[in-house]
Structure 1
Amino acid sequence: MSIQSGNIGKISYLPLNQIKRPIPPVLDYDKIDSMESQLKGIPMASKTCSLEEARDLNGELPPIDVMAIKENDEIYYFAFGGCHRFQAYERIGPDAKVKCKILPATKRQLKLYLGGSVDHIFEKADGSGN
């Protein structure tokens, strides 16, 4: 749980391929192995999670904070955290549904994370960019 999503009780499940992750992650592959095992229903301890805590998750991972931006009558999803969880979902397969807490946001707020490249992202998404 993060400061941003602490008050959000609703959990959503989004297809992995709908969430854009514009910042490359730095990864700990042992942690990803543990999370992948968790998603497969085989709890495993890691540096950040005891075996007991893993068992308590019942085959799921904590939700990832995802920003939802409505632009050109479409909703675009962006995530900046949860890198290891995303990698675990990717290993499960392209049809994986990611457990999320969705944070409504604006293009202007997204610009705080990505700067001027935000306009380019939306141009590509709607086909108007080069």
Structure 2
Amino acid sequence: MSIQSRNIHNIQYIPLSDIKRPIPPVLDYDKIDAMVSTLKGTPKESKTCSLEEAQNLNGELPPIDVLCLRENNKNNYFAFGGCHRFQAYDKLQKEEDGKQVKVRCKVLPITRSQLGLYLGSSSTMTI
């Protein structure tokens, strides 16, 4: 949970395919495997989560902070953190033959100029 979203309690489930992740992650695959196991209902410890903590998640992962830019009556979702959780959802989706997986998210509304702060002035990303 981040400083920005610790007081946000509105959790939404957003399809994995709807969330843009403009920054490539650096990953620990053992941690991802432990998260997938937790999502499947078999909690497993990792370097950053004890078995007890994993069991207390009740088959879910902590929500990921997702920024939502609403333009032209469409929500555009962006995430800059939660890399291992995203990879766990992605791996689960692949293991379930492409069945649409929804990501547990805390959605924070933003403006285009705020998004620019995250992406930087040299970004050419289009929505």
With normalisation by structure 1, the TM-score equals: 0.89
Where 2:105 maps in the other structure, the secondary structure is: strand
* Alpha-carbon displacement from aligned partner over 1:77-128 (angstroms, at most 9, x marks no partner): 0000000000000011141110000001011001001124556413xxxxxx
Q: How many residues align?
A: 122
Contact persistence 1:11–1:100 (CA under 8 A): yes
Q: Distance in 2 between matches of 1:22 and 1:44?
A: 29
Q: Does 1:104 align with 2:113?
A: no
Change in 2 beyond 3 A, CA 1:118/1:75: farther
Q: Equivalent residue for 2:68? A: 68
Larger radius of gyration: 1
Q: Distance in 1 between matches of 2:82 and 2:12?
A: 15
Runs of 4+ in 1 over 2 A off after TM superposition: 115-120
Q: Equivalent residue for 2:46? A: 46
Gap regions ≥5 residues in structure 1: 123-130
Q: Distance in 1 between matches of 2:51 and 2:73?
A: 44
With normalisation by structure 2, the TM-score equals: 0.91
Which structure features the higher share of helix residues?
1
